[in-house]
Chain A
């Protein structure tokens, strides 16, 4: 089963 990642770990708040 694949799990959906989120964008939080890729993009940083500026």
Chain B
């Protein structure tokens, strides 16, 4: 059986907000290690890989690996019944036909209990090869969200060019064109806002802005985001949390 108690229930609410528009149904794979999820969107253009490590929960108990098939829209609806400061406990027994959720307020004088019906989801698990990326950009997650949203006014896609000087996000469309360049600035006072670039080779890649904007729904989970790129391989957008991560992979656009 699974028992996982999360002191900051708001984290789970934010995680659901960050994935529920990209994927509808997914298995939460529970094991000793924690709770993981991997799923592609319907069009197989983007993939979400989530890990909530066991040490983020107190206590965390999972005797036997379990796959909890969840409709994410339903789960996010139930999570809306939890207060932002509530402690959330997830429980499932080995038959895994329901997921029990308990929300306790901080005064511990209001306890609400919900049960969500689970479903059988036959999803294939994909092997994600270890990749050494040609360019890795670390930047403010709020800045990345702003750039994606701003450029979406101009075009459906963005060209990302990374050199050792900086990273340029450019978009061209019917009404005109726009570009935002962030210079590498490791010396800024505010570490959280620094743009850092690790570069083996310059890269120039095109991606759908619709998906990137969707990924930025994870912004409340982390102040930093990393963009890992190599020519003609999927972009990796990673938000690191205290005990885990949310990674998005996006297939590039090719051709002129």
Contact = CB atoms under 8 A, between A and B. Distances in A.
Do the two chains bind? yes
Interface of A: 1-8, 10-14
Contacts, number: 56
Interface string B178-214: 0000000000000000000000000000101000000
**Looking at chain B's contact residues, is the secondary structure mostly helix, strand, loop, or mixed?**
loop
A4 B212 CA distance: 14
Given A2-B157, A2-B206, A2-B254, A7 B47 contact: yes
Nearest to A2: B253
A8 B125 contact: no
Interface of B: 40, 43-47, 124-129, 157, 206, 208, 233-234, 249, 251-256
Nearest to A8: B44
A10 to B, nearest CB: 5
Contacts of A10: 129, 233-234, 249, 251
